[in-house]
Amino acid sequence: MPNAAIIGTGHYLPERVITNDDLARLMDTSDAWIRERTGIAARRWVEPGTSGAELALAASRMALADAGLAAAEIDLLVYATVNPDYAFPGNGPLLQQALGVGTIGAMDIRNQCTGFVYGIAAAHGFIASGAARTVLVVGSEIHSTGLDVSTRGRDMAVLFGDGAGAVLLRATDEDRGVLASVLHSQGEFARELWCELATALVPGRWNDALAAEGRQYPNMNGRTVFQHAIRRFGEAIDEVLAKAGVTKDDVALFVPHQANQRITEMVIRRLGVAPDRVCSNIEHYGNTTAASIPIALSEAVRAGRVRRDDLVVLVGFGSGFTWGANLIRW
Ligand SMILES: CC(C)(COP(=O)(O)OP(=O)(O)OC[C@H]1O[C@@H](n2cnc3c(N)ncnc32)[C@H](O)[C@@H]1OP(=O)(O)O)[C@@H](O)C(=O)NCCC(=O)NCCS
């Protein structure tokens, strides 16, 4: 069976910086509250009219350049997002067109903050089975157009930001690539972090009464999410390491989904590793759901934090609830 090596990474952040003080002009919140509870100082928002596929394209081009590959060499595209440009079709085909590649397979993954981890596991499966040789996995999100930026929505609005990240995986006979993945879900908690807009359970898909209640906006029970996240991040890391027969001390870099700096700090404490072995960029970008892991990974690669043969763990938790991890030999 071929291995699935990561041969390129890329990311893209919109230029428009929204600080906590900018949000405090829109709603009853403060820089101190947001920093203390979340570790976030700023996030990026797109200019109106920008599509998620455009962000994905920029991140994908950077990954292609990093790998030294032409887009035509991609034979499968996996697109993870919470925020598709349309209810349907998904963004996979939109990125296929934007990249100008042939009629390759293009699929969307709807696993929220764990979407990228699911995407890597899927890409690995396709490559290992021989069904694909070069797979582009993208996480791209535009939250800014879907947040309630009044005081009613402040618990959510301060957390999320826009951005995209991408990696290219390619079949290799070398002893590197994705070593193991673990994936989980627990739908009993679906309504602890969710959004009802324009979906099959809403007759007529939408009406004014729902809009007046603000049900087009994401909704969250922050404390429940926090408690489950801490537990599941740790479990997923332990499970993926055990599956490959390695220990946390063998791992050079942990790349957790950037949900909240307090969650990341608890994961670091539970792991008992030096903080410089755990990626954190939430201060600058907030939570970019499916994009947060590939953005952090791409930045870590450029900062020289990942070297050939290093073990890297990607780990996510989010709405669903869903959670999981990938272990990669670089
Ligand atoms: C959202 C979160 C930061 C809130 O922190 P918390 O310590 O749980 O705070 P609480 O929910 O108890 O809220 C405390 C108070 O702050 C208020 N508040 C909420 N958002 C606020 C904001 N942006 N600014 C100021 N006050 C805010 C609440 O209304 C509440 O007021 P009350 O006590 O008068 O009712 C925290 O629960 C969290 O990080 N949860 C996980 C979120 C997450 O990671 N989601 C994505 C997972 S992938």
Q: Give φ, ψ of 318 to 5 degrees.
A: -175, -165
CA–CA distance from 66 to each of 7, 56, 83, 240, 304 (Å)? 8, 15, 26, 27, 14
What is the pTM for the complete model shown? Answer: 0.96
Q: What is the pLDDT of residues 271-313, one digit of tens each?
A: 999 999 999 999 999 999 999 999 999 999 999 999 999 999 9
Q: Is any atom of ligand 1 closer than 6 Å to the C-beta of 189?
A: no
CB 84 within 8 A of CB 90: yes
Q: What is the distance in A from the centroid of ligand 1 to the CA of 157?
A: 11
Confidence of residue 316 (pLDDT cuts 50, 70, 90): very high
| Active-site residue, 184 included | no
Reply yes or no on whether 326 is catalytic. Answer: no
pLDDT of residue 205: 80
Closest-CA residue, ligand 1 atom 4, reads: 222
Instruction: Please compute the mean of the pLDDT values over residues 180-203 and round it to a whole number.
Output: 91
Cβ of 124 below 6 Å from ligand 1:
no
For the CA of 223, the closest atom of ligand 1 is 37
Q: Provide the edge-to-edge strand list for the sheet that holds 311-318.
A: 177-185, 322-329, 311-318, 251-256
Q: Is 221 a catalytic residue?
A: no
Pairwise CA distance, residues 252 & 329, whole Å: 10
The answer to whether the CB of 223 is under 6 A from ligand 1 is: yes
Pocket test for ligand 1, best of 19, 37, 293 (most atoms within 8 A of CB): 37
Q: What is the DSSP letter of 71?
A: G
Cβ of 38 below 6 Å from ligand 1: yes
pLDDT digits 0-9 by tens, 237-281 = 999 999 999 999 999 999 999 999 999 999 999 999 999 999 999
| Cβ(194) – ligand 1 distance below 6 Å | no
